[in-house]
Structure 1
Amino acid sequence: MKSFDIVTLTVNPALDKSAHFRGLVPEQKIRCGLPRYDAGGGGINVSKAISRLGGQSYCVFTSGGPIGTMLKELVQKEKIEYEAIEIQSWTRESFVAVDDNTNLQYRFSFQGTEITTLEKDKIIQTIQKLKSNYLVISGGLNEGLSSDFYQIFTGIAKASNSKLIVDTSGEALKKVIEAGVYMIKPNIGELAKLIDVESLEMEEVNKAAKQIIAKGGAEIVVVSLGPQGAVLVTKDSYDFVPAPNVVKKSTVGAGDSMVGGMVWALSQNKNLKEVIRWGVACGSAATMNEGTQLFKFEDAKRLFEWLKDK
């Protein structure tokens, strides 16, 4: 059994493309600049974030067709140790386009390709043979996978004493907290759905998160508040961290960067006050870059220093 400090799993990765254009006119050919290509998808982005902070992780993801081949090459360029699970369907693509006339960003995300029963079993078997201190599952599910698929990994994590961190949404997230995990990162809208209410005000977040913790859904609930920042809640604590004021160019990968920053900080035995501040620093730093580039270490470090006393 291979052993790693951090393992990330991405069942629905994407080849991220980004480009610039001038003027969005219907029924006319829109000429774009040279595209930028990045390996994307929740867990892959988390591994990239950890790498930018000087940490290491083992990145597990599905890969299919020529797009999957390109995805593997891009992960390799990031100098991240990985294992690609080959699938029959092609890996999906996503596209981010920025209109230089208005500075508006348009994001196009395609549906994940179908996962067969055999491929599903391969994903499970791959994680079963790995031992880690932290297992991070991030991103949505493909066609062919039921909403309780991630729930399978709660048992695997408990059997190997791994701390399971899950960043997903909808029914998949609901199913995961039924079994109980170490940490989840919903936004405020997702948190409301988890406790079956229409919406939540800021002052209600602490009580809502503690409700999930009391039922054994998670030990730590980190609630992303977008431009307002984030809160980290445990059974006996509540910590609100404001987002630093930065010039935003793209929000792509900001949530994954936040998770990566927190997991890296946990792996470095930092306290929870530092964990949430590294998360907010990395998430905010990611918005300072265009397209799908995530963040630069020097930006994240500077923002963390500013947040230390907040």
Structure 2
Amino acid sequence: MPRIATLTMNPTIDVSYDVTRVQHTHKMRTTNEQYAPGGGGINVARVFKRLGGEAYSFYLAGGATGATLERLLAEFDLGCCRVPIAGTTRIASAVHELETGKEYRFTPSGPLIEEAEWQACLDALSDALPLDALVLSGSLPHGVPADFYARAAKLATAHGTPVVLDSSGEALMAGLEAGGLLLVKPSQGELAALVGRELESAEEIGAEAMRFVETGKARLVAVTMGHLGAVLARAEGVYFLPAPEIEAKSAVGAGDSFVAGMVHALANGRNELDAFCMGMAAGSAAVLSPGTGLANRDDIERLYEQICSCRV
């Protein structure tokens, strides 16, 4: 059984509701209230575990909401290491409007993290190495240096642990500059921001992604393009995979599910293209239902077979 760790510097309590119609000023009565532990690495761990792997989650948490997050993680039976902080863990909300099927998402920026707190996270991570893989996922909260993921990646690779990075902005740039990553998964928009220009086609995206492979920044670069599909850059070249035709109801955790699917396949010795297909299947499965549910194993396996049958 593959054993990985995920690191979530800015976790959330994810709350989702249904409402008949979103209206300003008016009080809106909600139904189908759901709570789940969230944030990039925690979401990856949840889906990785559903696929049969073992995922240990390192995360920062504090305040009354931090205690609630800890209880939610226990309910989801996730192995965890909580690094306590003085700040308060954020709460993110997703509101599903029943009349239109649209989803509205509200995500705070998160607490301020002190140097001693983020350093304690690196120390805890160091004690757990080596691992089958380390997934660094999500945004960095205020107070954490932009090169934090680069520091964590260097620590892990020094212990022979492959590193996966899924972030954005300066954190993504600094992580790539460190180099030697197993997998990087930006979205189309995140890659465009990284290279400083719009990327309209799969060919443009593939060419930019290949630069990171050719310069040794990452062995694999998977760029997700929403309903258009995804591009994988690797030493053998660029591969495009269209997204399966499904009715998307939510975007919560789609990218995290993609990472979980791809990492699980790689950790189990599957080849890179099979892992890419598993990532696409997991990311697509996550959008099938609104709310905080993420990808379900049955949906992932069904979509994987569908994607594999169409692969050329």
TM > 0.5 fold call: yes
Q: Deviations over 1:263-292 (max 9, x none)?
A: 111111111111001100011011012111
- 1:21 is displaced (CA, Å) by 1.1
CA contact 1:134–1:162 (8 Å) conserved in 2? yes
Aligned with 1:35: secondary structure? Answer: strand
CA contact 1:177–1:216 (8 Å) conserved in 2? no
Aligned amino acid, residue 122 of structure 1: A
Q: Does 1:28 align with 2:26?
A: yes
Q: Does 1:235 align with 2:258?
A: no
C-alpha distance 304-34 of structure 1, shift in aligned 2 (>3 A): closer
Task: Supply the distance in 2 between the matched residues of 1:147 and 1:200 (Cα, whole angstroms).
Answer: 28
**Which blocks of at least 5 consecutive residues in structure 1 are unaligned?**
none
Q: Does 1:163 align with 2:162?
A: yes
Task: Supply the distance in 2 between the matched residues of 1:192 and 1:64 (Cα, whole angstroms).
Answer: 34
TM-score normalised by the chain length of structure 2: 0.95
Task: Supply the distance in 1 between the matched residues of 2:288 and 2:199 (Cα, whole angstroms).
Answer: 29
CA contact 1:49–1:260 (8 Å) conserved in 2? yes
Q: Deviations over 1:229-270 (max 9, x none)?
A: 112111223221111111211110000000000111111111
Mean alpha-carbon deviation: is it higher for 36-45 or for 142-151? 142-151
Q: What value does the CA root-mean-square deviation take over the aligned residues?
A: 1.3
Mapping for residues 128-167 of structure 1, pairs under 5 Å: 128-131=126-129, 132-167=131-166
**Which blocks of at least 5 consecutive residues in structure 2 are unaligned?**
none
Aligned length: 307
Q: Does 1:194 align with 2:194?
A: yes
Mapping for residues 3-18 of structure 1, pairs under 5 Å: 5-18=3-16
Mapping for residues 116-135 of structure 1, pairs under 5 Å: 116-131=114-129, 132-135=131-134
Partner of 1:207: 207
- 1:20 is displaced (CA, Å) by 1.0
Partner of 1:263: 263
Q: Deviations over 1:58-105 (max 9, x none)?
A: 111111122111211211122221111111111100001111122211
Partner of 1:81: 79
Q: Deviations over 1:191-242 (max 9, x none)?
A: 2233333334222222211111222221110010110111211122322111
Task: Supply the distance in 2 between the matched residues of 1:196 and 1:290 (Cα, whole angstroms).
Answer: 33
Partner of 1:250: 250
Q: Deviations over 1:92-130 (max 9, x none)?
A: 000011111222111000111111111011111011111
Aligned with 2:31: secondary structure? Answer: coil
Task: Supply the distance in 2 between the matched residues of 1:45 and 1:173 (Cα, whole angstroms).
Answer: 18
TM-score normalised by the chain length of structure 1: 0.96
Partner of 2:97: 99
Aligned with 1:129: secondary structure? Answer: helix
CA contact 1:195–1:212 (8 Å) conserved in 2? no
